[in-house]
Structure 1
């Protein structure tokens, strides 16, 4: 029984940002009902598959959920969602609020039906500014929040996106926190509320928290930017036979590094001797470290630095991280038996609780796998369900997968 056991979540999200948030709510114990279009979430089509509609991106962002497909543009589809919402605790959606209004599922409509509902929207922009109705995607927000510019400053002067759906996942995490806080508020007051979690504002605060710098002050003291983050040599260090991730940060670590590396002479260099000196000369400091690490192998450096208690980690690729000794011992990537997809590699819930254990409730569902059961729970009769299938409001239950 996870910490959110007993909480019912209606998940009207697609792609990554919303599904990542609702998967986490499901992992924490909530009953998450994923409402998909008759075509299904587009991420079902991304990546290699054993069976159509069950791609790896979908499998890794939609566990701990039940699936129902409904055509919300048809009256009975909308009626089905309203019945699901009548006793739900949370609705999460990631279309623009204007689209929810067109479906006649805006907050004014839904809150009148269920005043205790947490109505959570994860979308591009705050609704009180000129971008309110604009579409948004991860890449756009990375650029708009300054990440692509920062990648150029710290690299080869070419703006780049981070090769990860960073915005979607950070905003998804922010949504989980906001939803849980709203559930606490509701328990105290009995009232639900509308939550808007905008991508642009969330990521701008996330990035500028590090890089506001002298722009914090009015008038500004500089042009912003955290110098250590932007140093050209702040990257995995090349060794004589590979790469290694190292950070030498505080005075204790620097003294240990001087001894371990045989570079005690740097103690007398004012650029290295104090935290302030290193901060003011970070490019020179990191440049010298880059030269030092070329003198030994990755294995030699790892052994030396580990003994000296200087923070060090391997630079993994997408395959080697699966074999990291810490992650192997903690069984972070268990191979589990999916009922239709066979053996798949999953990932553990990273947070742990001493009283309310959280773990995946179920593996990612096939499209409409639980549709008929969910409709019956909402009070639909077998005849009504059959009519909805006939009229294209929903689909028949998926057939068994042949081995």
Structure 2
């Protein structure tokens, strides 16, 4: 199967999450993405979790489908080869400091006038930031949990969103280049992704218009009815109703419709309104909690699946991996791959369907000779000379 982006070449010079996710997404959609790393790998090469062999499962997960080139980027000769590869591809994706020096847009554009450069920074003015520091500043940890102490979550949401924004920016810039022949530099600040999202979801406007700062609510769904419930066998499920149809389905599936209907008059709210259900959430939960507590997860599943109720079980990563059919080869998203240094494992393709099957991440530097020969026309003797000079890895990593 060919991907949507077949024929597009991209050079990625990056580390950690956001830019690698952007490059991986492009590779999964069919682009030829070459990641350039310094000899020995960038600072993310050994990040946890690790396989028993010491191979980073994190690095392998974020670099599926790419090709890997290793160069001595601390030497002029290595930077020269990297610049030639970037010019040949015509697209550079990076989250490393590149406003000045050999990897700046102004410098690289001298080699190719229609170059497209996607550059991720920490803040809009070029300052440093990572997901964890950005997230701390935009209110979400303070609104998470059940008390005033901030609660960090383990999902690097801003990195993920930034990686996908970078893909969108590249496709927009590439479309413009196709129409006009012009390249350009597209910049994205990680912190801007977070601030824009907080504003787009209404949290900023709520302060500006209403003077209201959203408090921590535990697992309650803000502005509608939703909460976690414990089952008889010690599991937890999330239940929500964001439409009247879903609200009525809860009453029908649990047999509690009449008792739930009594809550509205008692609380003086309209249960056909999301806001009314939110105001009466404690009373609604008091009616529903014993129903869940009297049933196992499988009994809850049997009662609610196919009923129109919006619900789902809480799962840890192990339960997801071992028990959930959506996280298995039964889902077309997944297929087994042979990952060097790891072995056989289940891996996703791009969630956009149809997409080509998943491909493993490369061994660091494994494609160096092939890319230098295929893209730049370097012969075996020249490659050997560069290796002897320490510009390429001697052990081919």
**Which residue among 139, 144, 149 is the counterpart of 2:132?**
139
Counterparts of 1:294-373 in structure 2, within 5 Å, are 294-322=293-321, 323-328=323-328, 329-338=330-339, 341-353=342-354, 357-360=355-358, 362-373=359-370
Assess if the C-alpha contact under 8 Å between 1:368 and 1:397 holds in 2: no
Shift of 1:311: 1.5
> Could you say which residue in structure 1 is the equivalent of 2:94?
93
1:262 equivalent in alignment to 2:264:
no
Assess if the C-alpha contact under 8 Å between 1:18 and 1:122 holds in 2: yes
Deviations 1:109-131 (A, max 9, x none): 1122212221001221113xxxx
Deviations 1:233-258 (A, max 9, x none): 95532122221122122112222212
> Could you say which residue in structure 1 is the equivalent of 2:391?
393
Any gaps of 5 or more consecutive residues in structure 2?
none
Q: For the structure 1 residues 106 and 310, does the alpha-carbon distance in structure 2 shift closer, same or farther, using more than 3 Å as the test?
A: same
Matches of 1:80 and 1:181 in 2, distance apart? 28
Q: For the structure 1 residues 233 and 387, does the alpha-carbon distance in structure 2 shift closer, same or farther, using more than 3 Å as the test?
A: farther
Q: For the structure 1 residues 320 and 187, does the alpha-carbon distance in structure 2 shift closer, same or farther, using more than 3 Å as the test?
A: same
Shift of 1:40: 0.5
3-state SS of 2:118 partner? strand
Matches of 2:205 and 2:64 in 1, distance apart? 44
1:199 equivalent in alignment to 2:199:
no
Q: For the structure 1 residues 214 and 19, does the alpha-carbon distance in structure 2 shift closer, same or farther, using more than 3 Å as the test?
A: closer
Counterparts of 1:212-231 in structure 2, within 5 Å, are 212=203, 214-215=205-206, 220-225=209-214, 229-230=221-222
Matches of 2:207 and 2:181 in 1, distance apart? 39
Q: For the structure 1 residues 201 and 284, does the alpha-carbon distance in structure 2 shift closer, same or farther, using more than 3 Å as the test?
A: farther
Deviations 1:147-197 (A, max 9, x none): 21121xx42432121112222111111111111121111111111111111
Any gaps of 5 or more consecutive residues in structure 1?
none
1:236 equivalent in alignment to 2:228:
yes
Shift of 1:207: 2.6
Matches of 1:185 and 1:49 in 2, distance apart? 43
**Cα RMSD (Å) of the superposition?**
2.5
Matches of 1:115 and 1:288 in 2, distance apart? 67
**Which residue among 171, 176, 179 is the counterpart of 2:170?**
179
> Could you say which residue in structure 2 is the equivalent of 1:73?
74
**TM-score scaled to structure 1, two decimals?**
0.86
